[in-house]
Amino acid sequence: MSELTCRQTDDLAAAWAVGALDGAQQEAVTRHLRDCQRDHDEAQSLATVAAVLPASVEPVAPRPALRERIMASVAETPQVPVMAPPIGAQPPRHPIREQRGGGWLAWLRPGLARGVALAAIPIVLLLVVLAFNLQSRIADQDQVLRQVAGVIGRGGDLVRVEGAAGRGYLVRTDGGATLLAADLAPLSDGRLYEMWVIDASGAAAPAGTFRPQANAVVVADLQAGLAGAKTFAVTVERQRVDRPTSDPVLAVNLAR
C-alpha cells in the first residue's frame, strides 16, 4: 500500500486502534505513526483507550494444567535480547520493527563462507527446492533453512537467531561463525545490516555488515570470534559503525 498522508492516517486512526483495518492498511498507519515527524496525538490517545478494551471482559479461570504448560514452555524459550543503546544515541521514535519485506529466498547471495564452496551444490539444490515452495508453511521453511545451515556448518553448532527482521541460524565452527538468515527486508537509502558480538559487560564488537537482496538468503561470515560472547545481534545502520545505534532486529543469547 502506498504511503499515507497525515490526514489519511488521522482518518483511519480509530479503526487502526481497534485493529479494524486490513493488513496493508494497518501496516501503513503503523508505519506513518512511527516515521512521521508530526505528533498524531489523537491517534495515540485512541490507541491507548482501545488497549484497555480487553480488560473489560469477564475473567475465566484457566485449568491448573495451563500454568504448568506455560512454565515448561518458558523454561525452554530464550528471550530475545535487546542491547542498551549507546550513550547519546537517539532512541527509536517507537519500539517497533523495521517493515518486513514479503517472500522467501530465490538465490544464494554471493560471498559464501570460506570452506563452503564444496558444499555449494547441495546448498543450491536445497535452495531450489525452497524456491518451489514459496507458499509453504513457515515451519517447513524453517526446517529447510536449518538443513541448509547444517550443510554449511558441517557438524558445527547451530544456534537459532530470530527477531523482528526475520529468522536464521548462527553456524559455529572451529574456524569461526557464519550467519544464515532468511526473510530479511532489503534496505533503502544505503542502510545496511551490521552484526555484533556482545560480551557479558554489554560491550559490542562489530562483526561485519551485509545488504540482502530481495528474497535472498543471507550467508555472512562473522569477522569477530564468539569466544566470551554472551549475545549475537544484528542491527540496521545507516553506515558501518563502531557501536550500535539502534535496537537489534535479530538476536540470540549465546550464554544459554
Which residues contribute to the site for another protein (CB under 8 A)? 11-15, 17-23, 26-27, 30, 33-34, 41, 43-64, 66-67, 69-71, 73-75, 77-82, 94-97, 100, 164, 247
Our CB check for another protein shows the closer of 67 and 154 to be: 67
Our CB check for another protein shows the closer of 80 and 151 to be: 80
Provide, rounded to whole angstroms, the least separation between the CB of residue 252 and another protein: 12
Provide, rounded to whole angstroms, the least separation between the CB of residue 179 and another protein: 19
Provide, rounded to whole angstroms, the least separation between the CB of residue 20 and another protein: 4
Our CB check for another protein shows the closer of 61 and 117 to be: 61
Helix/strand/coil for 75 = helix
Alpha-carbon span 114 to 174, nearest angstrom? 12
> Angle at which helices 120-131 and 138-153 pack, to 10 degrees?
170
CA angle 251, 95, 254 (to 5 degrees): 15
Our CB check for another protein shows the closer of 66 and 134 to be: 66
Provide, rounded to whole angstroms, the least separation between the CB of residue 116 and another protein: 29
Our CB check for another protein shows the closer of 167 and 211 to be: 167
Torsion of CA 124, 128, 131, 133, to 10 degrees: -130
Our CB check for another protein shows the closer of 95 and 175 to be: 95
How many other CB atoms sit within 10 Å of the CB of residue 56? 6
Name the grid cell of 150: 547444517
Alpha-carbon span 108 to 217, nearest angstrom? 6
Provide, rounded to whole angstroms, the least separation between the CB of residue 149 and another protein: 20
Helix/strand/coil for 166 = strand
> DSSP character for 189?
T
CA angle 143, 149, 150 (to 5 degrees): 90
Provide, rounded to whole angstroms, the least separation between the CB of residue 63 and another protein: 7
